[in-house]
Amino acid sequence: MSRTVFMQGNQACAEAAIVAGVRFFAGYPITPSTEIAEILARRLPQIGGKFIQMEDEIAGMGAICGASLAGVKALTATSGPGFSLKQELIGYASMTEIPMVIVNVQRLGPSTGKPTAPAQGDVMQARWGSHGDRGVIALYPSTVRETFDITIQAINFSEKFRTPVILLLDEVIGHMREKIVLPAVESIKLVERKKPTVPPDEFLAYKPDEDGIPPMPAFGDGYRFHVTGLAHDETGFPSGSAEITNALIQRLHTKIENHKEEITLYQEYFMEDAEMAIVAYGVTYRSAIAAVKQARKKGLKVGIVKLITIWPFADEVINKIAKQVKVVFVPEMNYGQLVNEVERVAAGQAKVISLPKVDGNLFTPQEILSALEEEVNRRG
């Protein structure tokens, strides 16, 4: 049965994790993500799960790697400096194909910055923060209800594609409270990781199925396998072969790229007759959609695309709107990060205008509306 609740974004994330089957959390408290840890510290033991506060963010990542290898759905949450500390083990989890979710409730940086100020400054770090090449899935909700839904989706993606998934929130989404209707638990689709179908003596730990994803037994299931961050062959043991290394790195990308249509989540509004478009995500979308509605009342043909999947980037979506409109605006609470991807994909088909904001305050609808009107006046 569905139920109506008044809920904070961080609470929605924690409760959704429980619904999705997460039974292990390890991390270190840091503003503005701490409520996720606090809630799971109370809730997980009630349902047979485990919560552990580690000595730092690095240890928290190590703990969820181990828990996931033991067969448990695992999640950690952090912000800013903590996300930086997690990068090496995010890379390790990518190379060893360990499913998990890392929640980053962003705050203004660099360094300690403004711990209670909202920002969207970790978008490129989510893609490139860990060294080396790997496929990345990063999702970004813009409402409390969406936080609930997308947390479940992040966990499902991590289990299906055997990869760490990054869930980006921002301080406002994490801390705001909204009246939302939660779906009936029995209506929610959950994904479990694939198990081997061969006997232990025929099992190869990193031999992929046709979808590019290897089945994953848990430690203790009777399957012996080796886990290493080194380049490895299908047995899981290190290999110096250039051919094997190339095949592994290629597969870490293609297992995501080949399912990009499924992974790419977005919404668009007022695009049917749009001559200008806004590309927005997270809390900035909320101001942008208000600006679009005001612009429409003034006769301006403006549409909006809300990106929920940040990585892999929605090339096909952006290419389509770049062919349709004359101008694309990209408001972001950073110095201009995702706008570079929009420009790359637009490839000159439409003018791309960056609207950066780095003062620790939210965009107002009027700020975005003024930018739209200025461009219209400039074009005459």
Q: In 3D, which of 114, 180, 120, 118 has the Cα closest to residue 146?
A: 180
Q: Output the pLDDT for position 375.
A: 96
Residue 159 within any structural domain of the chain: yes
DSSP structure string for 81-118: HHHHHTHHHHHHHHHHT--EEEEEEE-B-STT-BTTS-
Residues 180 and 297 in one domain: no
Residue 203 within any structural domain of the chain: no
CATH of the domain at 369: 3.40.50.920
E strands along 131-170, which residues? Answer: 137-139, 164-170
Q: Tell me if the bond preceding 110 is cis, omega within 30° of 0.
A: yes
Which residues constitute the domain of residue 104? 3-187
Q: Are 306 and 282 in contact (CB under 8 A)?
A: no
Segments of the chain with pLDDT less than 70 = none
- Kindly give the pairing relationship between strand 309-311 and strand 137-139: antiparallel
Mention every residue, 6+ apart, whose C-beta is less than 8 A from residue 52.
25, 26, 63
Residues 125 and 274 in one domain: no
Q: Output the pLDDT for position 66.
A: 98
Residue with tokens 């107002």: 364
Residues 31 and 137 in one domain: yes
Residues 61 and 176 in one domain: yes
Residue 234 within any structural domain of the chain: no
Residues 150 and 270 in one domain: no
Q: Output the pLDDT for position 61.
A: 98
Residues 32 and 155 in one domain: yes
Residues 72 and 163 in one domain: yes
Residue 219 within any structural domain of the chain: no
Query: What's the whole-model pTM score?
Result: 0.97
Q: Output the pLDDT for position 2.
A: 82
Q: Are 285 and 309 in contact (CB under 8 A)?
A: no
User: Strands of 351-356's sheet, edge to edge?
Assistant: 266-269, 302-307, 276-280, 327-332, 351-356
Residues 42 and 176 in one domain: yes
Residues 365 and 276 in one domain: yes
| Final residue before a domain boundary, out of 187, 205, 227 | 187
Residue 38 within any structural domain of the chain: yes
Q: Are 331 and 355 in contact (CB under 8 A)?
A: yes
Residues 46 and 142 in one domain: yes
Residues 176 and 295 in one domain: no
Q: Output the pLDDT for position 1.
A: 79
Tokens of 351: 């003018």
Residue 197 within any structural domain of the chain: no
| Final residue before a domain boundary, out of 153, 187, 221 | 187
* Residue 301, Cβ density class (10 Å: 0-12 exposed, 13-18 middle, ≥19 buried): middle
Residue 138 within any structural domain of the chain: yes
Mention every residue, 6+ apart, whose C-beta is less than 8 A from residue 29.
37, 38, 53
Residues 182 and 287 in one domain: no
258-275 burial: b if 16+ Cβ within 10 Å, else e: bbeeebbbeebebbeebe
Tokens of 282: 């997270």
Residue 351 dihedral angles phi and psi, to the nearest 5° = -70, 135
Residue 112 within any structural domain of the chain: yes
Our count of domains for the chain comes to 2
Tell me if residue 76 falls in helix, strand or coil: strand
| Final residue before a domain boundary, out of 187, 213, 239 | 187
CATH of the domain at 28: 3.40.50.970
